[in-house]
Amino acid sequence: MMATTINQAEARPASYPAKPIDLTLPAAALDAAMIWQRIEAYIAYRYTPRAVVWIVEGCGEWFPPLAPATISATEVWSQAAVWETAILDAAPLGGFYLPATGPYRFTASVGAGDVPAAVAEAFRRLAEHLAAVKSNVMPGVREEHVDGIGSSIFDAAAVAKALQNSGAADLLRSYRRV
């Protein structure tokens, strides 16, 4: 049986990892934080530290949904309607075993380590793709000419599809779950 995360409050990091050095000028000019935010929304791993609080319900095993995570406090909502410190056992597969329905509150810090090559390449692909969207030189923008009158048609969903269309999502697939 698995407990369920019902709320996740993740703070913004003080900074994001450095962008790759092999970007074209238009891609390097994009806001790196915006690109990291898109990548982090898609994956379960973080590479710069930030605070996070999870509220979890149910009994059974629970694993932090973001990694790497360092849990600093575990609490349970008591019958006195206050958060009280909870001492929890380890679960057989590495998370925590929650003996009662809770709810439980986990306070943690997530994010550390070097950016793997696949994630750095996903950043590069996404940045290059978004730079192409911005300059209208990509799939999703087409130009039609009628009797010497030119017109451009922009796919409004081109930016929303950028993670998939750039090939970045494919590289990030193994980072979607902890």
pLDDT digits (tens, 9 = 90+) for 82-103: 999 999 999 998 899 999 989 9
Query: What's the domain count of the chain?
Result: 1
> What does the block give as tokens for 31?
């806001």
- As to burial, measured by CB atoms within 10 angstroms (0-12 exposed, 13-18 middle, 19+ buried), residue 137 is exposed
171: which residues sit within 8 A by CB, 6+ positions away?
118, 119, 121, 122, 125
pLDDT tens digits, 27-46: 999 999 999 999 999 999 99
138: which residues sit within 8 A by CB, 6+ positions away?
129, 132, 158
Could you give the C-alpha distances from 149 to 136, 139, 144, 145, 152, in angstroms and in order?
18, 21, 8, 5, 10
User: The pTM is what?
Assistant: 0.86
pLDDT tens digits, 135-167: 765 555 555 666 666 665 666 677 788 999 999
Residue 20: give the domain boundaries.
4-175
